[in-house]
């Protein structure tokens, strides 16, 4: 009898333990599921406002435009009044009062009197004359040694001679205060080889600078350069071929 009671109590204890263990497992699973649900909710909640994306947005909606024709009055005073918001009738226009004369103008004063009383600053005038580029001057620049010294620096390109290139080109440049040519440009081109030869020769040329009021100034000049193929005559060929006795 006692053994049978012990067996029942043991089975009852085991059943109780098994049920409690199953309940514990279920609770743990439920707790895990709850924690996962909470994490998913927290991570997907919009805690911070989303920053709008920057980019192009195309609007295909039709738009209507209106063009108004505004007729401006002939009177400038009426135009200015209409622009400010007031309308002046075109048929009845009131004459605007004439401005009162300035007593300084009647007495011969004003801006002219001030300009006459203030003499020009010679230093400022000299500075402006040095920085400005003049088109003409009292004494125009001249090539040192004449135009022939410039042509001595030109080398007629052999390829241009063989191609029969001849004619005229025009150079534009600025003669500085020290006689150097700068800002050289080809205004009228003849051939790239001839243009390069003319520019190269001009860089080797020095000028007597132009003068204005006795001071050297910068002057812009133009120089036509001629390229001409000269065929020597029979007499010139004979003279070249004939040896000279010393």
For residue 146, give its domain range: 140-227
Answer for the pair 139, 165: CB distance below 8 angstroms, yes or no. no
The pLDDT, as a whole number, for residue 220 is 96
The burial of 156, by beta-carbon neighbours within 10 Å (0-12 exposed, 13-18 middle, 19 or more buried), is given as middle
Name the helix (H) or strand (E) containing 231.
none
3-state SS of 46-65? CCCCCCCCCCCCCCCCCCCC
Q: Residue 144 and residue 178: Cα distance in Å, rounded?
A: 12
Whether 216 has a pLDDT exceeding 70, the answer reads yes
- How many structural domains are present in the chain? 1
Look up the pTM and report it.
0.45
Is there a domain that residue 159 lies in?
yes
Is residue 191 domain-resident? Answer: yes
Residue 153: inside a domain, yes or no? yes
Q: Note whether 207 and 150 are within 8 A (CB).
A: no
**Is 58 domain-assigned?**
no
The answer to whether residue 118 sits within a structural domain is no
With a cut of 90, say whether residue 226 has pLDDT above it: yes
Domain contains 59: no
What is the Rg, in whole angstroms, of the alpha carbon atoms belonging to the chain?
50
Q: What average pLDDT does the chain have?
A: 74
Q: What are phi and psi of 211, to 5 degrees?
A: -135, 140
Non-local CB neighbours of 209 within 8 Å, separated by 6+ positions? 141, 175, 176, 177, 178, 179, 216, 217, 219
Could you read off the pLDDT of 146-156 as tens digits, one per residue? 999 999 999 99
How do residues 52-72 score in pLDDT, each as one tens digit?
Answer: 444 444 455 555 445 444 444
C-alpha distances in angstroms, 8 versus 16, 20, 22, 103, 204?
12, 18, 21, 136, 128
Exposure on the CB side of residue 57, measured as CA atoms within 13 A: 5
Q: Looking at residue 156, which CATH number applies to its domain?
A: 3.30.2420.10
In-domain check, residue 115: no
pLDDT in tens, 17-39: 777 778 888 888 888 888 888 88
Question: pLDDT grade, residue 246 (50/70/90)?
Answer: very low
Please indicate, yes or no, if residue 162 is contained in any of the structural domains.
Answer: yes
């Amino acid at each position: 009898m006692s053994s049978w009671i012990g067996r029942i109590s043991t089975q009852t204890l085991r059943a109780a333990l098994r049920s409690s263990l199953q309940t514990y497992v279920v609770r743990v699973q439920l707790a895990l599921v709850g924690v996962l649900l909470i994490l998913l909710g927290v991570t997907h909640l919009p805690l911070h406002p989303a920053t709008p994306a920057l980019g192009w947005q195309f609007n295909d909606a039709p738009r209507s435009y209106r063009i108004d024709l505004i007729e401006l009055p002939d009177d400038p005073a009426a135009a200015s009044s209409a622009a400010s918001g007031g309308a002046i009738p075109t048929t009845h226009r009131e004459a605007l009062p004439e401005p009162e004369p300035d007593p300084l103008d009647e007495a011969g004063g004003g801006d002219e009197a001030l300009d006459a009383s203030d003499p020009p600053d010679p230093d400022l005038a000299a500075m402006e004359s040095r920085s400005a580029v003049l088109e003409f001057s009292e004494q125009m620049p001249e090539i040192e040694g004449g135009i022939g010294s410039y042509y001595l620096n030109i080398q007629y390109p052999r390829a241009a001679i063989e191609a029969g290139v001849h004619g005229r080109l025009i150079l534009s440049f600025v003669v500085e205060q020290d006689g150097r040519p700068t800002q050289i440009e080809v205004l009228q081109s003849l051939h790239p080889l001839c243009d390069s030869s003319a520019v190269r020769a001009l860089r080797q040329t020095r000028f007597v600078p132009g003068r204005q009021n006795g001071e050297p100034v910068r002057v812009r000049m133009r120089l036509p350069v001629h390229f001409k193929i000269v065929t020597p005559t029979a007499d010139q060929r004979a003279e070249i071929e004939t040896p000279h006795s010393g």
